[in-house]
């Protein structure tokens, strides 16, 4: 009886604690809203406009003028403010010397690391591992918050189908499902378990929306996106960021269907605020409000400020159209007071949620977190899992650590800054460990023969080719590290042709003449057209720009400490003329297939009028990519078998379980990324040939088998059909496989 009583009492205590916890959460929210409104009531119009203004110190009129402006409440946020001392100094002025003591929100671009630099986000996406990505962004937040940065303009979750676009490096590739999974992980990593933790940083999902669809891959260019593509593809990673609790969103540079993103009421008001009920803050991209004049959407800065504010941009970055025009717009009756108040309310809410009012300063002790050995270990792990093995003829890789000598060539073999990649402001080249350094450490310097052959990726000087070939002939194997310098990808760095720049292909061809095993490792910020290189190499490993620890990570893979396990997060095309090419395209009425097309070089010179099969393909590229989405090899092999569906039918509110057995049939332990795809055969609008609906990264020991299950809910099959979101009955295909082009096939009906 005593035990029964104690159990009941314990249960009541637990229920009471849960009730109090829920009440406390509600009270905390109520408290924040109450404090926001009370503070708002005390603010002058100038102070409100100040909160809506973000400035770079370099544009603040000098240090003394900047301090005066902070003291007068003219800035709500600063970006690119360096150093703990400087941050604390300005924060002290804002908190202790301004009239209302509102803390500054300090922002910075921390895209894939602060000082511990991780692979570019596109590289991290190749890991298909949200957990390690989440930890990478948590580390980034710990490091940057130790310097007083409480807001980062990440993650960038723009979907793109065009590898010519330089900013593909910053995103997660072409697929909305994979990008959404990683978007959630990145936001959770940045913001941490508790927003009031000193290491918590506000995330900013960017660029809302459609920026990755810039025409021709030209940065900042026009985008035309149908509403079904917008809702079924482009918006999904942003919704995932919102669901993960992202405190802020950023409007983009682009115009979307004729309306610039920073003045677009449909995306910012209708979708983000009304449909998604987003309560956070929207910031413009750098000067994107004033750039609406260049777009031809606004005639002057006053009109730009009006349209951005009415659309829902709460804070203006860099340009000063808000600061210079809001007061006049209010006086003229062109804007109402509540619009201003709502924007300021959104800004103050973020500051309260981050605990800045209670803890505005950063402790100098926090600086000890930079480049923590555990952080570097994780950077090496992420770089290992991000690398993708694209070719490995005759098991060229892994090389034996007992090899007598290896020749190392290429402009990226020992280029510490380039391996960090684009959009790195605070990472230092001297902290990078290059592939050459790592290989020398692993094998001993006497076993490594090295000359660059080309001094940088665009180098066309063939002066070292003869020496390179001679050195290659003296070695047992060749490692060529090529690709792109960091400056060739990222913002503003669009390319028309995406082959290896400079004379790299010519040097690789020269090295291939040696007859020695040739391994090519590509370090780049985008998917390059590497078909010609793949034809010359015995093995091809894609390492992206792998960050601080790229060298040790690649050495681990090359010499078999671990097996490559990454898979492509984007389709690799054969050349720029094949762009756009993405795996979930809609089917044409005349689809090509093997045997239904004629390669251009096979066409007779004298030929009657003919369309050569009347199918959809390129005469020179055919109809398949160089490497499909999801592709990646391993040092071991995996066999897929035994596909099962829990039912051959499901209702429009039901679910089914699809499973398969994955067996490691090779000679070493390995990780496999098992992918789950579906096809809706017939819809009220045409549906994609395949769509990713699940994936699992699994470790399978040599000779062992694992059953992998995916649960497919009816809601997972919903789509926007041009009018509304629907789940439509019909026939569906399913695949479980190693990439988007292969897999075990099944089918079911929805009724």
Active site residues: 285
Q: Tell me the three state secondary structure of residue 326.
A: helix
DSSP 8-state symbol, 268? I
Q: Tell me the three state secondary structure of residue 653.
A: coil
Residue 707 main-chain phi, psi, to 5 deg: -90, 130
CB burial class (10 A; 0-12, 13-18, 19+) of residue 623? Answer: middle
Cβ neighbors of 214 (< 8 A, separation 6 or more) are: 162, 165, 220, 221, 222, 223, 254, 494
Give the strand pairing for 259-260 and 655-664.
unpaired
Helix H or strand E encompassing 644: strand 638-645
Bin 258: left if φ > 0, else alpha if -120 < ψ < 50, else beta: left
The CA radius of gyration of the chain, in Å to the nearest whole number, is 28
Q: How far apart are CA 619 and CA 536, in angstroms?
A: 23
* Alpha-carbon separation of residue 34 from 41, 197, 491 (angstroms): 11, 22, 41
Helix H or strand E encompassing 713: strand 705-713
C-alpha torsion sign, points 416, 417, 419, 420 = positive
Q: How far apart are CA 718 and CA 732, in angstroms?
A: 13
Which of 158, 164, 157 is closest to 216 using CA atoms? 164
Q: How far apart are CA 415 and CA 438, in angstroms?
A: 13
User: What are the beta bridge partners of residue 479?
Assistant: 408, 519
Residue 530 main-chain phi, psi, to 5 deg: -110, 25
Q: Quick check: 389 and 530 in contact, CB under 8 A? A: no
Give the alpha-carbon dihedral of 331, 336, 342, 348, to 10 degrees: 10
* Alpha-carbon separation of residue 204 from 166, 238, 426, 741 (angstroms): 20, 10, 19, 34
Q: How far apart are CA 736 and CA 743, in angstroms?
A: 5
> Which pairs count as long-range contacts for 320-324, CB under 8 Å and 24+ apart, including other chains?
320/53, 320/55, 321/289, 321/290, 322/49, 322/52, 322/53, 322/289, 323/49, 323/50, 323/52, 323/53, 323/74
HEC assignment per residue over 380-421: HHHHHHHCEEEEEHHHCCCCCCCCCCEEEECCCCCCCCHHHC
Q: How far apart are CA 315 and CA 247, in angstroms?
A: 13
* Token pair 């929306």 in the structure block, residue: 209
Q: How far apart are CA 367 and CA 369, in angstroms?
A: 5
Give the alpha-carbon dihedral of 127, 121, 111, 280, to 10 degrees: -90
Bin 480: left if φ > 0, else alpha if -120 < ψ < 50, else beta: beta
Q: Quick check: 626 and 530 in contact, CB under 8 A? A: yes
Which of 415, 412, 406 is closest to 518 using CA atoms? 406
Q: Which two tokens stand for residue 658?
A: 């699809």
Q: Which two tokens stand for residue 571?
A: 């389709």
**176 CA to centre of own chain:** 11
């Amino acid at each position: 009886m005593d035990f029964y009583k104690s159990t009941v009492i314990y249960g009541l205590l637990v229920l009471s604690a849960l009730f109090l916890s829920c009440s406390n959460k509600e009270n905390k929210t109520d408290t924040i809203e109450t404090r926001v409104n009370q503070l708002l009531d005390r603010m002058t119009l100038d102070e409100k406009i100040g909160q809506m203004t973000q400035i770079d110190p370099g544009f603040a009129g000098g240090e003394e003028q900047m301090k005066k402006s902070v003291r007068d409440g003219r800035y709500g946020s600063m970006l690119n403010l360096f150093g703990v001392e400087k941050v604390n100094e300005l924060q002290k002025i804002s908190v202790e010397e301004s009239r209302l003591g509102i803390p500054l929100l300090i922002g910075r671009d921390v895209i894939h690391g602060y000082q511990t630099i991780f692979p570019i986000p596109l590289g991290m996406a190749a890991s298909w591992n949200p957990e390690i990505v989440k930890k990478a962004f948590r580390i980034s937040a710990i490091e940057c918050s130790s310097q007083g940065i409480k807001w980062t303009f990440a993650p960038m979750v723009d979907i793109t189908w065009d590898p010519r676009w330089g900013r593909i490096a910053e995103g997660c590739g072409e697929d909305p499902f994979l990008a959404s999974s990683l978007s959630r992980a990145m936001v959770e990593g940045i913001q941490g378990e508790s927003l009031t933790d000193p290491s918590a940083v506000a995330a900013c999902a960017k660029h809302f929306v459609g920026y990755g669809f810039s025409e021709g891959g030209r940065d900042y260019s026009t985008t035309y996106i149908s509403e079904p593509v917008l809702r079924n593809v482009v918006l999904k990673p942003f919704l995932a960021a919102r669901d993960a609790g992202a405190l802020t969103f950023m409007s983009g540079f682009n115009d979307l269907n004729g309306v610039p993103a920073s003045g677009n009421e449909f995306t910012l008001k209708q979708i983000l605020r009304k449909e998604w009920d987003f309560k956070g803050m929207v910031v413009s991209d750098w000067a994107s409000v004033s750039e609406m004049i260049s777009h031809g959407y606004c005639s002057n800065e006053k009109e730009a400020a009006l349209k951005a504010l009415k659309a829902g941009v709460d804070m203006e970055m860099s340009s000063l159209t808000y600061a210079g025009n809001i007061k006049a717009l209010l006086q003229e009756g062109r804007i109402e007071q509540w619009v201003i108040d709502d924007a300021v309310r959104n800004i103050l809410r973020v500051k309260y949620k981050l605990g800045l009012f209670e803890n505005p300063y950063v402790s100098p002790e926090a600086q000890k977190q930079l480049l923590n050995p555990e952080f570097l270990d994780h950077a090496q792990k992420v770089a290992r899992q991000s690398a993708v093995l694209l070719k490995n003829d005759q098991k060229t890789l892994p090389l034996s650590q007992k090899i007598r000598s290896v020749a190392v060539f290429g402009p990226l073999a020992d280029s510490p800054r380039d391996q960090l990649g684009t959009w790195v402001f605070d990472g230092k080249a001297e902290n990078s460990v290059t592939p050459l350094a790592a290989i020398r450490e692993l094998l001993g310097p006497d076993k490594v023969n090295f000359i660059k052959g080309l001094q940088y990726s665009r180098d066309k000087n063939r002066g070292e080719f003869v020496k390179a070939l001679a050195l290659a002939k003296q070695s047992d194997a060749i490692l060529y590290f090529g690709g792109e310098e960091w400056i060739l990808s990222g913002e503003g760095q669009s390319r028309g042709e995406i082959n290896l720049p400079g004379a790299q292909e010519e040097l690789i061809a020269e090295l291939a003449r040696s007859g020695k095993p040739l391994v090519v490792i590509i370090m780049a910020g985008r998917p390059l057209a590497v078909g010609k290189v793949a034809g010359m190499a015995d093995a091809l490993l894609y390492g992206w720009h792998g960050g601080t620890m790229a060298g040790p990570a690649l050495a681990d893979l090359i010499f078999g400490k671990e097996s490559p396990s990454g898979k492509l997060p984007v389709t690799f095309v054969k050349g720029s003329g094949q762009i756009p090419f993405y795996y979930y395209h809609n089917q044409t009425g005349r689809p090509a297939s093997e045997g239904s097309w004629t390669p251009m070089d096979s066409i007779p010179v004298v030929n009657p009028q003919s369309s050569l099969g009347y199918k959809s393909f390129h005469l020179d590229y055919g109809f398949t990519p160089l490497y499909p989405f999801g592709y990646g090899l391993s040092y071991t092999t995996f066999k897929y078998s035994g596909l099962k569906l829990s039912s051959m039918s499901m209702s429009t509110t039901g679910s089914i379980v699809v499973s398969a057995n994955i067996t490691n049939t090779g000679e070493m332990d390995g990780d496999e990324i098992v992918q789950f795809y579906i096809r809706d055969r017939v819809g009220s609008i045409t549906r994609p040939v395949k769509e990713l609906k699940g994936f699992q990264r699994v470790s399978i020991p040599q000779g062992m088998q694992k059953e992998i299950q995916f649960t497919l809910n009816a809601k997972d099959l919903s789509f926007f059909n041009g009018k509304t979101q629907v789940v439509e009955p019909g026939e569906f295909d399913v695949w479980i496989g190693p990439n988007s082009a292969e897999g075990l096939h099944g089918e079911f009906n929805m009724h």
